[in-house]
């Protein structure tokens, strides 16, 4: 016990947990984010789009403008936060500078705010949106898979990382519009091993922009026999 306490104390000193927003060691110790920094995050509130989960300004509306224009192959999804500079910086650090530990905070919030609603979906599995294997090698982890693992562990839902693969890198999606993105992505994914009894799936990804990635992966899972697909993303761009 004492040895463990000393060990934890030393690890804390050498590798203090850093805040996903300001990147400084989190105070008070034991927390996942600074009390001030959590206020910089805009967690999605109602009214939110019934399909993609992004926040919409008008309580009279059921869908965001994007979901009015496009029909998705997934049933519906939730998103934790509205995309902002602060959130974008934090996710970029997770993706490109090894700040995997920030996902502990986001995973914790995902469960706290959406755990019951995700359980109510009654899915057979959680499937992370894959990254290309060369990217995985460079980063050492897939941020969506790390998040999926945290959620699966807490919600007692199995995670199938091998359900989907990405067979080409899809760079510069930012410059493309929704239709071009989807075209670009439609051949980017293929299904791996899908157990026969996997009828419904929660797809997990980091950012919801136009929904093209989730649409491409949903189509891929449907072709492989999955009947119902739901989504969860960390951040979504507000009405686009």
51 lies in the binding site for Zn ion (CB under 5 A): yes
Q: Measured from the CB of residue 52, what is the shortest distance to Zn ion in angstroms?
A: 3
What minimum distance in Å lies between the beta carbon of 223 and Zn ion? Answer: 23
- The one segment of 50-58, 157-165, 174-182, 212-220 that binds Zn ion by CB under 5 A: 50-58
For residue 229, the minimal CB distance to Zn ion (Å) is: 15
Rounded to a whole number of angstroms, the minimum distance from the CB of residue 40 to Zn ion is: 8
- The distance of closest approach from Cβ of residue 27 to Zn ion in the complex, given in angstroms and rounded to an integer, is 9
Q: Which is nearer to Zn ion, 92 or 134 (CB)?
A: 92
Q: Which of 48, 64, 87, 164 binds Zn ion (CB under 5 A)?
A: 64
For Zn ion, the binding residues in 120-159 under the rule CB under 5 A are none
Name which position in 32, 44, 48, 67 contacts Zn ion (CB under 5 A).
67
Stretch that binds Zn ion, among 30-38, 157-165, 185-193, 196-204 (CB under 5 A): 30-38
Quote the least distance from Cβ 137 to Zn ion, whole Å.
Answer: 31
Record the tokens describing residue 190, joined without a space. Answer: 């293929």
DSSP code per residue over the chain: -HHHHHHHHHHHHHSPPBPTTT-SBPSSTT-SS-TTGGGGS-B--SSB-TTT--B-S-TT-SS-HHHHH---SS--EEEEEE--HHHHHHHHHHHHS--TTHHHHHHHHHHHHHHHHHHHHT-SEEEEPP--HHHHHHHSS-HHHHHHHHHHHHHT--B-GGGEEE-S----GGGS-HHHHHHHHHTTEEE----TT--EEEEEEEEESSSHHHHHHHHHHHHTT--EEEEEEEEE-S--
As given in the structure block, the two tokens for residue 207 are 């950012």
Asked if residue 19 binds Zn ion (CB under 5 A), the reply is yes
- Closer residue to Zn ion in complex, CB, 21/198: 21
Chosen residue from 32, 44, 49, 226 binding Zn ion by CB under 5 A: 49
Specify the stretch interacting with Zn ion by CB under 5 A; choose among 60-68, 82-90, 174-182, 212-220.
Answer: 60-68
35-63: b or e for each residue (b if 16 or more CB lie within 10 Å)? eebbeebeebeeebbebbbbbbeeeeeee
Which of 41, 44, 48, 52 touches Zn ion (CB under 5 A)?
52
Chain residues in the site for Zn ion (CB under 5 A): 19, 21-22, 34, 37, 49, 51-52, 64, 67
């Amino acid at each position: 016990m004492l040895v463990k306490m000393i060990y934890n104390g030393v690890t804390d000193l050498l590798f203090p947990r850093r805040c996903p927003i300001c990147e400084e060691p989190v105070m008070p110790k034991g927390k996942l984010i600074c009390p001030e920094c959590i206020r910089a995050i805009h967690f999605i509130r109602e009214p939110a789009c019934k399909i993609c989960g992004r926040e919409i300004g008008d309580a009279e509306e059921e869908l965001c403008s994007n979901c009015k224009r496009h029909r998705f192959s997934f049933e519906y999804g939730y998103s934790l936060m509205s995309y902002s500079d602060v959130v974008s910086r934090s996710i970029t650090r997770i993706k490109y500078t090894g700040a995997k530990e920030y996902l502990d905070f986001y995973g914790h919030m995902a469960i706290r705010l959406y755990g019951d609603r995700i359980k109510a979906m009654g899915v057979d599995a959680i499937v992370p949106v894959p990254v290309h294997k060369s990217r995985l090698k460079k980063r050492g982890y897939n941020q969506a898979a790390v998040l999926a693992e945290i959620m699966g562990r807490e919600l007692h839902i199995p995670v199938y990382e091998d359900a989907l693969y990405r067979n080409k890198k899809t760079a510069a999606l930012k410059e493309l519009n929704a239709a071009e993105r989807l075209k670009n992505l439609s051949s980017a994914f293929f299904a791996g091993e899908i157990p026969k009894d996997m009828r419904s799936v929660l797809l997990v990804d980091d950012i919801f922009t136009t929904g093209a990635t989730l649409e491409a992966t949903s189509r891929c899972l449907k072709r492989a026999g999955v009947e119902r697909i739901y989504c969860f993303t960390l951040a979504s761009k507000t009405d686009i």
